Structure formats: structure tokens, C-alpha cells
A and B are shown apart, each in its own frame.
Chain A
Amino acid sequence: MALNGDEEDFEWEPPSEAEMKVIQARRERQDKISKLMGDYLLKGYKMLGECCDLCGTILLQDKQQKNYCVSCQELDSDIDKDNPALNAQAALSQVRERQLAAQSPPPPHAPQLNGGASSSQSGGTVPQPRPEHCEGAAAGGRALLPPPVAPTPAAPAAATTLAPSRPPVSPQSSTLRPVLQEAEEAVLTKLRWATTQLQSSASLETSIQLCSLITSCASSLRSLKELSQ
């Protein structure tokens, strides 16, 4: 619509698929923000004439004169989800990108979400680049071709987000042992701790929870033993 004549300077092309998704996601986020702000206004909040410094959303003020930014404090941040330090999903995708980029052993690190008491999947696989919703993965996925995948069962889809990712089954078992030993030690420590807690606990609920913790520690140990064999 601009009436400038320098159209030849900018070759406008329609946005690509991924960019469309980003635009769509941004639009949905803006709609969500508007809806939340409308609800707060109906609750009696005041709409100020200022914008948030971080995200540019209009600020609200409650009856106690406290300023409130809907997008920063309530919605998941748009950019934080790409930050590996804050988001496990982003960390996982970063790990996968590194594995794709260099065919070297991946860092033996998995973000432990449940304090080491989570059950792990025994399927060792080469993690494939899955369509992620963050830009980093999309950019990474576009840049490289995936390596030929070993014919192993497909990586578990959702459970992997909670489970620590397993290192690939590759002829590098020398690096595997110390990792497994560390894991075993961690689980045994937790088991010991749970046992002492169970001996001293007085409430029923706590005892039940400690017993389930012990059960899951035992099953983790079992899978670790299977892996090392």
C-alpha cells in the first residue's frame, strides 16, 4: 500500500511456512493478551498509559497501586521458551542440534526434572529432529540434514520430555560405564535417603509417598543394570 517507488529495493516475497507459523503464534498470543487484559479491566484494574519496558504491553494497575504486566507475569514468555537455561524443551532441542551438527559423542547431560526418581525409557535411539515450535530448532532443522537413523524403535514422543535422554547406542561403551555408575549412585543415594525418612516418618501420607519413591528408585536401578549388561 505504500506509495513509495522503491519497490525494487525490497523484493517482497510471501512469508514461508515457518514464518507463517510464527506470525500465527504471535497473533494468537496477542489475542490471549487482549482477552486477559479485558478480564482484568472488568475486575476493576486500571489501564495505565504506560507500556512495559520488557515486552511493550500496556500496563495494568490494581487497587493496591501495584503495576501488572499481563504478558510478562502471566503468559509464558515468548522468548524465554527458547532459552535453554530456563526451559527443558529448549535444552533438549539444543542437545539434539549439537548432535546433528557434530557427529561426536553428545555431552552426557540430561536435565533432571524429577530429582532423579523418574523412570527412564530404555530405548536408546538416535534422536531425530522433530518439528519443534521454537525458532531455534526450526532454524537448526532447516540447516542440516539428519544423519541416517539406526533402525531402532522410534524415540518415545512425550515421555522423553520428562525422562532424561539416553545417550545413543553407538560403539562407545567406554563412555557409557561412568555415566551409568553415576546414575546408579545417585539413585542409590536417593533410595537410602527415602529409607531413613520412611523409618522416621509418622504420617500415613508421607509413608505412602516414600514407598512409591522407593519403588521407582528400584525400577530405575533395574533398568540401569539391564543397560549395563
Chain B
Amino acid sequence: MLSVKHLHLKHALQTVCTLEAVILRSFGPEGGQVLFTRDTGQAMLSCSGTQILKALRLEHPLARMVVECVWKHSAVTGDGSKTFVLLLASILRLIHAAASKAPGVSQWSTEAAEAATARHLADKLLAFAMTELDDLICVSVAPHGFCVSSEDFTTKTQLPSCPNGFCVQALLSSFFHTRLDYVHCDFLSGLACELLGHWKFQNDTLSFALQFLNDNFPALHTQVSGFPVSSSHVIEGQVIHRDFATPCLQVNNQPVKAVVVTEYLQPKLLRRGDMLDLGCGGRVTGEKSIIPFSAWTERSLESVIATLQSLGVSVLLCAVKQSAAALALAAQAEMCLVECVSEEELSLFVRLSGVAPISDCWMIQPENVATLTFCKPIQLGAHRYVHVAFCDSEERVGVKPCSLVICGSGEVQTEQYASAFQDAIRMLFTTWEPTRMTETTALKKPVQSHQCTSLNAHNLTEDTVCRSSDVYVLKPGCVIPAGGTFEFLLHHALLQHGRSCSASNYTNTGVGVSQILADALLTVPRQIYSHNLKSFLQTQTRVTSFTSNQPHHFMLLKNARGTTEDPEKGDEPSKLFTLDSGLESVSCKHQLLLAVLQCLTSLLRVNAVVRTHTALHSASHTHAKMSEESADDETED
């Protein structure tokens, strides 16, 4: 008999508020770090929201769902996991308050009615965010931002064309400041810029390089523990995280030829499940023994090695463990063999060298042979690895493949720095990703006049017809000062939008969704400045004074140019930026809001938990005893 437990709005609220209480003290620039200790005695300091949440022991299905959402969001954008939980908690609280205060829901109401109201509000919020939020951000928030140039990765003091401090390194520096400590953020951001500078393909956009780096990051970095962070550096070529299986006789940096082998060089004698049929094939010797077979395999191995030697190959990179005979023969032929190379590293090698791996050892073509500038052992920390460098090829003009050596004092710290690096790359990728026109934005344009989507209904002096051909698209690379500026600007814009909507028409549904979102957004700067209320008020005043000074500037510029882009008032950042303010990416924040609202709707749709006794999804769930389903609502509105 399956046991069914009904969940109510208060369970969701309690779960999310508990998770908020967990991350609250680590939030913000003055947040602390959490010290984790394992039973083995291993300790780790972290202020990454994802790591903290994943380390908790949670069996409650709603809590696990929220942590999963946070993790997935962080895997895409690399940042904002604590802000996610904070926003989720504040929106849920506001919805809970609105649902219990709504007319028709008095103290005699059932919990089901409250839950239905909450779900309805959440759906409306999500619909609003999908259709109108990006326009709001483009119109009201982005003009106060600044588009960072992606052309140059030099340090901030050396850049003449771009105003002091507004370049990629500044963005990375503020990111590392929030994720790691203050001491090393400049150094690490410089390192990241150096890496990006080497990898940027000249004719392609930055986002292509960033995507490549993100996909191949595990193969492009080496973690070395036992050294200070400042020993981290960028090295040329690729580091293969294996040692040579045969002695490497090469001492000079000479060009070598290499092949990639994915199968066994010597046909395996007997694998599990194989059946060897002896004595067949027309031989009339009458003797059934395995010796002819093994002799044959040795002969085939010798011929393979001879072919490789004739092609001048001296390095073999193998995906599997070769037999002892293969190793011996390779050593005899003075070939270096590397075994058990991981799939990612091999695919990266294949991509960078432009050759195809050998799948059939009897058919080795010249296309399988790659030329390397050098291939030698390298000692990094306590391990010895293989270091290869590629010759320049026509495909990658101007790109010098290089990888990162990340040092840290302990294994755990090094891993943290490595994950911070990867998250930085993801964050940059989200910032520079070209905005996709979603189906909703494309479809809504013709029906604009029928809905209350007129953002500047009061400000727009001309006909709305010409707006229907406009596309509000956020330019890639748009950043804004950190410290709550985005939240203040969007709060202001949402309040104005709410006022214009309710003044102009019909869908006045009591508690407006823009009001809920506007109130919820303010919790972020409140938490940032929780130690210093005066700064909160000062920042709020400063930001609001900017929004009131320039209401029509944007529209006037647009009319003059007649273009459809989002202008940035020339190349100068607005006065909102101060020299010591950090930078944050606008598209990351936008994605964060969308992700929070989607998580909220799925959270509120769950209203029953069914305990099963068998595993439903063995791949994704570790505790397979619980599953969740959203049952239909018993009472209709």
C-alpha cells in the first residue's frame, strides 16, 4: 500500500526559508565562509552556495528539488546560487501573504484554496517574466549599464580605448572576489584573461571561444596541490594527465609524430564471453591448441609496430591498457606509449591536432599521424605528466592552445579554485551569449496593442505602430555596477510598469505581479547591506536619482537613430559606476530571475508525496525510496 502525504504551501515555505537561513550568513561581500568537516577529518572552507547546499543532508523532496534547481542554474550561469535561494524565499513569502489575504480566502478557507491561489500567482509571475521582463530590462536597466569590449584582454591599467576599469578583467575580478578571497582575485582574473587571450579565435566571437573552453575545461586544466596560489600559470599546449608507460628517450624539443589508438594493439587473447574455436579453418593437423593463435597475435602486433615505425611515429596515445608484449615491443622500437588516456583528453587532442584516431590497427593511414612540436614529460607537483604542444595549423589561425596549471595549498582548495575558474568561464559565456529570440517574444509583437504591455505608455510620444517592428535585444557584454544596482533599477521599473498597467486598464487582479516581484527584488540589496543600513539608503537614493533624471533620454536617442539596437550613450559608462564598485553581468541576473520563477512554479505544483519501495530513477536519485508527483487539485476555484 503506497503511502501518500499531502504537502501544503506552508511546507514549501518552511523548506525554502530553512535553506535561506542556511546560506544567509554567507551572502554578500561581507558574508562568511562555511567550514565543512568530514568524518575522515578533511576540512574545506567554502562560500559557494551550490557547495553548501549540496553538502547538506536533505531527505525532504521539496528541499532536494530546490537544491537540484540551484545546481542546474549554477551549472549554466556559474553564479548566483545564494541569490537564487534568497529571491525564491522572498517571493514565496510574498505569495503566501497575498494568498492568505486575498478576498474570498478568509480564516475559514481551506489550505487547498490557498495553495490554488499561490499556484495561480506563480504562473502569472512566470508568464510575466517570459513575456515582458526582458523588455523591461532592456529599456530600464541596460541603458544604465555598459557594454564591455571583448576585444582586449589586457589588464585594466593598460587599456587606452576603454575607460579605466571597465574591461573583462574587472568583471572577472569582482566575480572572484565574491567566490574566493580578496587577496588573489586580481591575480586570478589576470590569469583567466591571459588564458582567454590565447584562445580567442580571431575571426570568431568571444562566445565561441568561451563555449569551447567551457566544454573542454576538465582537459584544459591541471590541479597541483602543495603550492601557493600565486604559482598558478598558463602553459603552452596540452597536458595529458598520465605518465609514459615506456621510457621516454626524448630530451630535446624536437617535432615528433604521434598517433591516437583507441583499441588494443595486440588482439586480446581471450576476453570474457569470447569463445575460441580451435582447430577449424581447414587445417588438417588434428591438433587443437591455443599456441597457433597466440603466435598469430604476436605476429600481427609486430606488423603493427613495423607500420608505425615506417610512418615515423614515436608517440602512441592509447585509450586502453596495452598488453605487456605491446609495451615491450614499443620500447624496443623506441616509441613512447601513454596508456589509459581519458576520453575528454583524447577528443581534445584529436580536435587540436586535426587527425583521426586509429580504430583498426591493420589500417593505419598517414591521416592518422599528427605532428607535434614536442612531447615530453613534465613534473607538476607530485605527479609526472605528458606535455604536448601542437604545430600551427590553418584552421586555428592566431590561436595558441594552452592550458592552465592551478595551484593551491591543499587538494580541496585547489579544487575550489578550479571550480571557481570554470564558473567564471560560464559566467562570461552567459554574458556574451547572443540573445536568442524566443518564441514568445517573436509571437507577442503583433498582438501588442491588445495587451497591457506598453512599457512607456506615458513616455512614448509617438505611435506604437512603429514599435512593433522594434526588437529589444540586450547587447552582449552588458554589465552593471554590483551592489544591488540591478535590483534597484528593476524595482523602480516594475513599480512604474505596475502603476501604468493598473491605471490604464482592466486586468487589475488585486495584487499585481509586478508589485510582488518588485518587493521581492529589494531583499537582495537589503541583505547585501544588512550590516550597514546607511549604505543601503545611500545606494538606493543614488540609483533612484539616476532613473528620475533620464526618463526620456533613451526614447529620444532611439527616435533620432531609428535603429533597433539598445544604445549605450556612446562609449562612456553612466555615472552610476564608481571606480571601486564591482561589476556584474546583466544577462546572468536576467537568467537568474527566470530560473527562480520556474523553480517556484514547479515547487508550488507539487502537492502530494508518494513513497515507493522501489527505485524509480536510479540514475538521478540516490535515495530511491521517495518520489514526488503533482496530483490534481481536489477543489477547483
A residues within 8 Å of B by Cβ?
1-4, 6-7, 10, 12, 30-31, 33-35, 37-39, 41-42, 44-51, 56-58
Contact = CB atoms under 8 A, between A and B. Distances in A.
Contact of A42 (B5, B22, B106, B117): B22
Given A1-B121, A49-B59, A49-B61, 11 more contacts: A2-B103, A3-B120, A4-B104, A10-B103, A30-B17, A31-B17, A34-B14, A38-B18, A38-B24, A46-B59, A49-B609
Contacts of B104: 2, 4, 6-7, 10, 12
A49 B626 contact: yes
A4 B114 CA distance: 12
B637 interface: yes
Contacts of A56: 10
A198 B105 CA distance: 66
Contacts of A37: 14, 18, 21
Contacts of B5: 49-50
A1 B22 contact: no
A4 B112 CA distance: 14
B627 to A, nearest CB: 11
B404 to A, nearest CB: 33
A41 B509 contact: no
A2 B102 contact: yes
B103 A49 contact: no
Interface in B587-637: 609, 626, 637
Contacts of A42: 22, 34, 56
Residue of A49, A56, A57 with most chain B CB atoms under a 10 A cut-off = A49
B116 A2 contact: yes
Nearest to A48: B59
B11 interface: yes
B106 A12 contact: yes
Contacts of A2: 102-105, 113, 116-117, 637
Nearest to B16: A34
A12 B107 CA distance: 9
Contacts of A12: 103-106
Contact of B18 (A3, A34, A44, A49): A34
B15 interface: yes
A52 to B, nearest CB: 11
A95 to B, nearest CB: 30
Contacts of B102: 1-2
Interface of B: 5, 10-11, 13-15, 17-22, 24, 34, 56-61, 63, 98-99, 102-106, 108, 113, 116-117, 120-121, 509-511, 609, 626, 637
A47 B637 contact: no
A10 B106 CA distance: 7
Contacts of A47: 15, 18, 56-60, 63
A30 B14 contact: yes
A58 B14 contact: yes
A3 B637 contact: yes
Contacts of B626: 49
A41 to B, nearest CB: 5
B98 A58 contact: no
Contacts of A34: 14, 17-18, 20-21
A40 to B, nearest CB: 9
B637 A4 contact: yes
Contacts of B60: 47-49, 58
Q: Which 9 A-B pairs have the closest CB atoms?
A: A38-B21, A34-B17, A46-B57, A1-B102, A38-B22, A2-B104, A37-B18, A35-B21, A12-B103
Contact of B20 (A38, A45, A46, A57): A38
Nearest to A34: B17
B383 to A, nearest CB: 34
B80 to A, nearest CB: 20
A22 to B, nearest CB: 11
Nearest to A9: B104
B513 to A, nearest CB: 10
Contacts of B120: 1, 3
Contacts of B15: 47, 58
Contacts of B103: 2, 7, 10, 12
A1 B509 contact: yes
A36 B104 CA distance: 34
Contacts of A51: 11
Contacts of A50: 5
Residue of A2, A37, A42, A48 with most chain B CB atoms under a 10 A cut-off = A2
A28 to B, nearest CB: 12
Nearest to A44: B57
A57 B58 contact: no
A37 B15 CA distance: 9
Contacts of B24: 38
A41 B61 CA distance: 15
Contacts of A44: 57
B38 to A, nearest CB: 10
Contacts of B113: 2
A1 B21 contact: no
A56 B106 CA distance: 21
Nearest to B625: A49
Residue of A7, A12, A57 with most chain B CB atoms under a 10 A cut-off = A12
Nearest to B17: A34
A154 B570 CA distance: 74
A58 B18 contact: yes
A37 B19 CA distance: 9
20 contacts: A1-B102, A1-B117, A1-B120, A1-B509, A2-B103, A2-B104, A4-B104, A10-B104, A10-B108, A12-B106, A33-B14, A34-B14, A34-B18, A37-B14, A38-B21, A41-B22, A41-B57, A47-B15, A47-B58, A58-B11
Contacts of A30: 13-14, 17
Nearest to A36: B21
A93 B22 CA distance: 39
Contact of B14 (A41, A49, A57): A57
A30 B510 CA distance: 26
A39 B24 CA distance: 11
A39 B34 CA distance: 12
A135 B637 CA distance: 33
A158 B20 CA distance: 37
Contacts of B59: 46-49
